[in-house]
Structure 1
């Protein structure tokens, strides 16, 4: 990003003026962006993330951040002047790790400056970048905004919109912060580390391009054995955000998934499966009936399906989740149309059915609720006398609700 952009004005009197956007010192950039950085904390749990003010609608302040920072949580927003705000709205991209949060200031206009958005297409390897955010501080409740320096290590296209990697001393809590070029303009939204990218992509290898598979293998080698030293960080190019803003009118997940995340983080897989079933009933408004019909499933909230799936994928290191089940089913030739052989092969592959023509579908009590289970074995979801996908298909074979569920997770891009 060592560039100098200039423009010329030729007025009628024949004079010319030149204005150039020159690189700024790191101190100048840090001071310029400080009042635009927002601390995003959670009302019902510990942890936090970062966001930053961007241009938006009149009457609200608009905060751009990473989707995984806000999804499934109740938020508090704190600005640099230590004021706390409640969220006015939260919208998340269905397929990018991006989200927009708004809050209403006291006056008509947002009093916090929006950051200037740069040109991420001009970013090159070795370019210097800066990241601002709120890293975790072990043993301290006070969070201090940090401003760190790094350099671009690579440019690639990965899932969820990631496209710029860099070496920088970032820590948990800085996700969603701005990645800035040497003129102080935003070129990316800071997101995940190699280790997190690997966990996300390992369950999706069947659908990756050869280039993406190569990138995944390189990242996996860097984090082999759980060692995360000298790994790279990744950001979503700001041009990707600008080109995909139509999702800002889409709703975020309806339910709070704090408890589900806690159960998954603790490795309580069976309890997490039960919580997943309860949340699906809650989202569909079917707590009284205790089951979903095909219509409920075809119209099920896409943001909630994605929120639950991402938690399962994250805490199982890519082993469990609706998306993992979908990819295995499709790899066996499965489509929206029923095929008895494909459905049997799928159930055998994920361990819901004993292998062979005479093999039986397992009872719920016979399933394996630990990470030794076959890939895609969980979640199962059990309601009212049935289990499997949406509480109906484990031992009972195929049904309209199973077809509806596979169709919905495909439509929702889970």
Structure 2
């Protein structure tokens, strides 16, 4: 299968912060799949509501308050409170803080929730920009098993020069499952490079499923025939890059410029 990586130059400023938790790994060491899955499990939560199911990533800790980022599409518009289940089996009441999916052309399929834990402490994710040639892994809570699941390491298939509708920009070949929307995409150092939101589509695949924000077709912008491009796009899962998060939510200052 054709693997195409389109590099993008970002000029956004990175931030770092000591959030009170020790780093899970050296920023320059590669980690095996089993260790990566353990890291993913520590920073990933299950999110449920009356009609909602998905995964989320712990991205900030402020005393006893934890901030979670997930995909907005897993949260029903008429719900504001959710159940957050952490990796140790504890359940907390989650409160919706912000949604960024105001529309497809300039919004992002992202939302922020918070919960409080007075007795238990949880690890916070390290957020970085994906670097070329890095393999990635996803870890979340599929709806069919309701148990934490990690994919195998896989290749990044596309890094688009601009984001598609709802902010999706980073494509990869990973066996993600329904219910994993909102889960982290980790690099080989255990750092979060994106928030997973799209798996392989279940509906009829056509060029208009993959549009840039200006309405133009992604399949016609790549340096391969449009039908081959559509095959590549539809075979990929998709994430919103981690470097978008501190721009949308300035309180989140643990993004590391690598």
**Alignment counterpart, residue 177 of structure 2, candidates 159, 171, 174:** 171
**The 10-residue stretch of structure 1 (174-183 or 153-162) with the greater mean CA deviation from structure 2:** 153-162
Report deviation, 1:207. Answer: 3.2
Q: Who is 2:23 aligned against?
A: none
**Alignment counterpart, residue 104 of structure 1, candidates 96, 101, 116:** 116
**Alignment counterpart, residue 144 of structure 1, candidates 127, 144, 147:** 147
Q: Who is 1:38 aligned against?
A: 45
Q: Is 1:114–2:124 an aligned residue pair?
A: yes
Report deviation, 1:118. Answer: 1.8
Q: Who is 1:354 aligned against?
A: none
**Alignment counterpart, residue 162 of structure 1, candidates 168, 190, 199:** 168
**RMSD, aligned CA:** 3.3
> Structure 2: how far apart are the matches of 1:220 and 1:75?
38
> Structure 2: how far apart are the matches of 1:234 and 1:23?
23
Residues 87 and 54 (structure 1), Cα distance of their counterparts in 2 relative to 1, 3 Å cut: same
**Alignment counterpart, residue 187 of structure 1, candidates 190, 193, 196:** 193
> Structure 1: how far apart are the matches of 2:240 and 2:137?
14
Q: Is the 8 A contact 1:158 1:212 kept in 2?
A: no
Helix, strand or coil: the match of 2:136? Answer: strand
Q: Is the 8 A contact 1:162 1:237 kept in 2?
A: yes
Report deviation, 1:25. Answer: 1.2
Write the deviation string for residues 358-386 of structure 1: whole angstroms up to 9, x where unpaired: xxxxxxxxxxxxxxxxxxxxxxxxxxxxx
Q: Is the 8 A contact 2:211 2:218 kept in 1?
A: no
Using the size of structure 2 for normalisation, the TM-score is 0.71
Residues 135 and 75 (structure 1), Cα distance of their counterparts in 2 relative to 1, 3 Å cut: same
Q: Who is 1:352 aligned against?
A: none
Write the deviation string for residues 155-176 of structure 1: whole angstroms up to 9, x where unpaired: 1121111111001110100000
> Structure 2: how far apart are the matches of 1:147 and 1:38?
13
Helix, strand or coil: the match of 2:201? Answer: helix
* Larger gyration radius, structure 1 or structure 2: 1
Residues 213 and 67 (structure 1), Cα distance of their counterparts in 2 relative to 1, 3 Å cut: farther
Using the size of structure 1 for normalisation, the TM-score is 0.46
Q: Is the 8 A contact 2:164 2:211 kept in 1?
A: no
> Structure 2: how far apart are the matches of 1:206 and 1:174?
25
Report deviation, 1:247. Answer: 9.8
> Structure 2: how far apart are the matches of 1:236 and 1:219?
23
Q: Is 1:21–2:31 an aligned residue pair?
A: no
Q: Is the 8 A contact 2:42 2:87 kept in 1?
A: yes
Counterparts of 1:352-363 in structure 2, within 5 Å, are none
- Higher strand proportion: 2
> Structure 2: how far apart are the matches of 1:145 and 1:26?
15
Report deviation, 1:196. Answer: 7.5
Report deviation, 1:183. Answer: 0.3
Report deviation, 1:211. Answer: 4.7
Write the deviation string for residues 24-66 of structure 1: whole angstroms up to 9, x where unpaired: 1111222233222100112x23x51000111244331111111
Q: Is the 8 A contact 2:219 2:227 kept in 1?
A: no
Q: Is the 8 A contact 2:40 2:186 kept in 1?
A: no
Q: Runs of 5+ in structure 2 lacking a partner?
A: 1-25, 253-258
